Structure 1
Amino acid sequence: MSPIKTSTQNQRAQSPYRGRPAKAFWKAAVSNDQGEALEELHEKKFAIGESDAIATAGSCFAQHIARNLRLNGFNVVDAEPAPGFATASTAEKFGFGVYSARFGNIYYVRQLLQLAQEAFGEREPSNWIWTKNGRYYDALRPSVEPEGLESPEAVREHREQHLAAVRRMVYSATVLVYTFGLTEGWVDIASGTVFPTAPGTICGDFDPAVFEFKNFDYAEILSDFEELRLLLHKYNPQLKFIVTVSPVALAATASDDHVLVATSYSKAVLRAATGELVRRYSDVDYFPSFEIITGSQSKGRFWDDTLRGVSPEGVSTVMRHFFRSYPPVAETPPPEAPITAEEVLCEEAMLEVFGE
């Protein structure tokens, strides 16, 4: 008769965790890590090579990614370049070179979806020209003309030029890096047109009979990105996606929750949606900038004094991990990827004014 095995021996022999790599265990992968290396944090689905053209879009944190990709020799699409006479600071002030087209921050997936639909003639936005002090603004990208334009016709002309640039971006890109930023947005009730900022923040006036608050849920975000993916693949079947979640907290919430709770909800929903997209599609990858900044291994040291914005050290850490997965492709890359953590343009920060 064979000896009877103890329950402990049986558990060790049969446990599905036995033999798993070190990265699967908190003690080995996080507790014993110094918070900087985090080995095997990201295993890329696909590489980025010299022949790839990278388009960038998303929330304000995405600006760090765009700048550092350019700095390290990647081919970043600029489908809407600044006029030749503009200085670098003036160009940035007017939204040139911040992303791959002059669309400003795109905080919500539905905002990007509606932009793509409009660019390819599948949607017509409503109620999108707003005013302030006698000047006219494109409410779908209000920050790119800080002083507004002289007439509605001028706004329409600028938008047609912008939509042509968006089409060029889609046709030319092989990779789109998109940062999911927020779930809270503002929508035109009659048409469903979504805006990056609340009316009355940068321009326009809030009317509860015209605009309503919208907090996008998991199913809506997932569905919006799937629809976006199908639309972009109609015009560029080879396009791949790298998605991230911005670690930057909400500046203010229009929900009834405390802003800390509202932020936690928003980021959890975005993270869950990106995780499901990566599981479903081989051409969608997730880069964990959110975890690098907010994870307990960082011990809170990656926040600035507001406890909302990411510090230069945090940006640098994220980008070092990014370039570990996607090494710089310059002909003569430096021994260590150069990284910048300059201040970014964020319309949402305007909301803090209303709390003062």
Structure 2
Amino acid sequence: MEFRTEIEVSPSRFRIGTDSKIMTVGSCFSEVIGSQLADNKIQCLCNPYGTVFNPSSIFKLVSNSLQNQPVYKHLMVENSGIWQHYDYHSKFYANTREELESLLNQTNKKSQQFLRKANFLVITLGTAIVHQLKENGLVVANCHKAPASTFKKEVLNVKDITLRFSAMYEQLKMHNNKIKILLTVSPVRHTRETLQLNSVSKSILRTACYHIEQEFNDVHYFPSFEIMMDDLRDYRFYKADMIHPNEQAEKYIFEKFSETYFTEDLNSFLKEWHKVKMSLAHRPIQTDTPAHQKFLADLLEKLDGFSDRFDVSSEKEKVLSQLIAA
């Protein structure tokens, strides 16, 4: 007797290897995927623009970076002496317009340089509901606590999203013809707009992803949303807010992700790396015993074995700090 409906992920023609470079953008679930990749020593630029939920803003940020567009100064906003930008997450702020402009241009330049060499761009779409500035109709990524009267709320349709994706895709391919795109819909529930509108929003995003995948042969959809909604359909897989997947759910979804995209070589490395991470997390009561010092020496040797392919300098430094010089 079956007690759950496990999602079968479609096999992917694209494979992420030990030398792959990946950039993640989008909702907070892009942060989850990106941090998991980086934690497993995969070269990853994780959500460089901060958390961005709607596809219009996500595609705009990527396109502007690729074209080396200066940030739009007219979208900077000041509140209590702090400057922020409507196109970017609230983690980007400065005391002056000039400082903020410099910070954002550096962010865009870093994203552009990485995208030109990246093998994969992972995009996580969070919501189809957008806020437009009433004065000019521009969609914002973050309202930065401006009065609600400043904005008009709209719902993007499938055509809006697919057209905006196509424009970004053309720019991306002009700069890096070999890059592949992995699309996913965030499993995080956007309850602020009501659960009813959240369902409408997610259905639009999912339909848009379907059409995009059908149109572009180097785009693949990963069903993180479906895994959460159908496979893990129980509140025990949510955090206390009942909105975000908990650590167990995030780990399960990432395992599905790795099964779908990782090469055998990378999966083999991850098994070995997991053992190393367990050793690094070990907290002995006494660190100066001969047994623990040998444990550290053996661990350092294992790290040295990885150093020709991966950056393990921080891990080696941690181990060396505990080793007692002979």
TM-score range, shorter chain: 0.7 to 0.9
Q: CA deviation at 1:330?
A: 7.1
Kept after mapping to 2: 8 A contact 1:60/1:105:
yes
The alpha-carbon distance between structure 1 residues 75 and 207, as it changes in their structure 2 partners (threshold 3 A), is: closer
Match of 1:108 in 2: 54
Q: 2:257 — aligned with what? A: 322
8 Å contact 1:199–1:206 — kept in the other structure? Answer: no
* Mapping 1:192-207, distance limit 5 Å: 192-200=137-145, 205-206=146-147
Shift of residue 155 of structure 1?
A: 1.3
Query: Could you tell me whether the CA contact under 8 Å between 2:9 and 2:260 is conserved in 1?
Result: no
Q: How many residues align?
A: 273
TM-score, normalised with respect to structure 2: 0.75
Q: Does 1:235 align with 2:181?
A: no
When residues 296 and 49 of structure 1 are mapped into structure 2, their CA distance, relative to the original with a 3 A threshold, is: closer
Q: 1:2-51 CA distances to partner (integer Å, 9 max, x unpaired)?
A: xxxxxxxxxxxxxxxxxxxxxxxxxxxxx73655xx37433113111233
Report the TM-score when normalising by structure 1. Answer: 0.69
1:72-151 superposed matches below 5 A:
72-77=40-45, 98-99=46-47, 101=48, 103-119=49-65, 120-121=67-68, 125=72, 127-145=74-92, 148-151=93-96
Distance in 1, matches of 2:76 and 2:135, equals 15
The C-alpha deviation readout for 1:325-352, integer Å capped at 9, x for no partner, is 123727733169689xxxxxxxxxxxxx
**Alpha-carbon distance between aligned partners in 2 of 1:279 and 1:232, rounded to the nearest angstrom:** 18
Kindly provide the CA deviation profile for residues 244-266 of structure 1, in whole angstroms up to 9, marking residues without a partner as x. Answer: 1001111412xxxxx01001001
Matched residue, 1:313: 248
Tell me the equivalent position of 2:108. 163
CA contact (8 A) 1:176 1:241 kept: yes
Given candidates 21, 24, 30, the residue that maps to 1:62 is 30
1:23 alignment counterpart: none
CA shift digits 1:180-233 (9 cap, x unpaired)? 111112223444432222242xxxx3263x532222111111111111111111
Letter in 1 for 2:39: L
**1:1-356 mapped onto 2 (5 Å cutoff):** 32=2, 34=4, 38=6, 40-77=8-45, 98-99=46-47, 101=48, 103-119=49-65, 120-121=67-68, 125=72, 127-145=74-92, 148-200=93-145, 205-206=146-147, 208=149, 210-253=150-193, 259-295=194-230, 298-327=233-262, 329=266, 332-334=269-271
Listed one character per residue, the Cα deviations across residues 121-157 of structure 1 (whole Å, up to 9, x for unaligned) are 5686363211221221233224224xx4221111112
Of 106-115 and 170-179, the range deviating more from structure 2: 106-115
| Structure 2 unpaired stretches of 5+ | 278-326
2:292 corresponds to: none
Q: Distance in 2 between the 1:241 and 1:262 partners?
A: 27
Task: Give the AA of the match of 1:107.
Answer: F
Query: Within 2, Cα distance between the matches of 1:303 and 1:111?
Result: 27
Equivalent residue for 1:15?
none
Unaligned runs of 5+ in 1: 1-30, 78-97, 254-258, 340-356
Q: Is the 8 A contact 1:242 1:287 kept in 2?
A: yes
Q: Is the 8 Å Cα contact of residues 71 and 104 (structure 2) preserved in structure 1?
A: no
Task: Measure, in 1, the Cα distance between the counterparts of 2:84 and 2:144.
Answer: 11
38-47 or 164-173, which deviates more = 38-47
> 1:337 and 1:298 mapped to 2: Cα distance?
28
Secondary structure of 1:237's counterpart equals: coil
